Amino acid sequence: MALDDLDKAIITHLQTDGRMSYADLGEQIGMSPAATRQRVQRLLDSGMLQVVGVTDPTAMGYPTVAMLGIRVSGDVRETADAVSALDGVIYIVMTSGSFDLLVEVIAEDPGALLDLINDGIRPLPSVDSVESFLYFGIHTHRFGWGVR
């Protein structure tokens, strides 16, 4: 789906305030609330746009956050599916380079992180190795990157 200038404006405004009313959004982009609602719905239906609440894991009771680098032998997609089913896994990307998967995880404490790695991930038959990178803090976390 190609984005036109109105679609880009809608996305930009919703990145700033995802709870903005259709009336306010329409006023910002020069459209009626009904036409704005239709545009937003089209973007949602296409999968181009998703409006969600973003939480801070540490504020939600998960102060232990880490990135795991996983090396896989076998089917990377199947391994990603198996890992994604585990509690505490919040983000997975398939990559090239030293790791086949980068997996972001949250845990209630370091012991729970160890349980996730040792009891949940390492026993998977296609997992060759897991390297963990414990977060000291999140420096930059952007959702408002531009649209082209």
Structural domain boundaries in the chain? 5-46, 64-134
Q: What is the mean pLDDT of residues 85-94?
A: 97
Angstrom distance (rounded) from CA 17 to CA 147: 16
Tell me if domain 5-46 and domain 64-134 are identical in fold: no
Question: Angle, to 10 degrees, between the axis of helix 22-29 and the axis of helix 33-46?
Answer: 100
What distance in Å separates the CA atoms of residue 28 and residue 104, rounded to the nearest whole number?
Answer: 36
How does pLDDT run across 19-55, given as a tens digit for each residue? 999 999 999 999 999 999 999 999 999 999 999 888 8
Look at residue 83 in the predicted model and tell me its pLDDT. 98
Look at residue 146 in the predicted model and tell me its pLDDT.
67
Number of neighbours of residue 76 by Cβ within 10 angstroms:
15
pLDDT at 53: 84
- Topology annotation, domain 64-134: Alpha-Beta Plaits (3.30.70)
Look at residue 1 and give its three-state secondary structure: coil
**pLDDT band per the 50, 70, 90 thresholds, residue 139:** confident
pLDDT band at 102 (very low <50, low <70, confident <90, very high): very high
Residue 73's pLDDT is what?
A: 96
Token look-up 């997992």 returns: 127
Q: Check whether 64 has a pLDDT greater than 90.
A: yes
> What CATH code is assigned to 5-46?
1.10.10.10
pLDDT at 89 over 80: yes
Strand intervals (E) in the chain:
64-72, 89-94, 101-107, 127-134
Give, as one character, the DSSP assignment of residue 60.
Answer: T
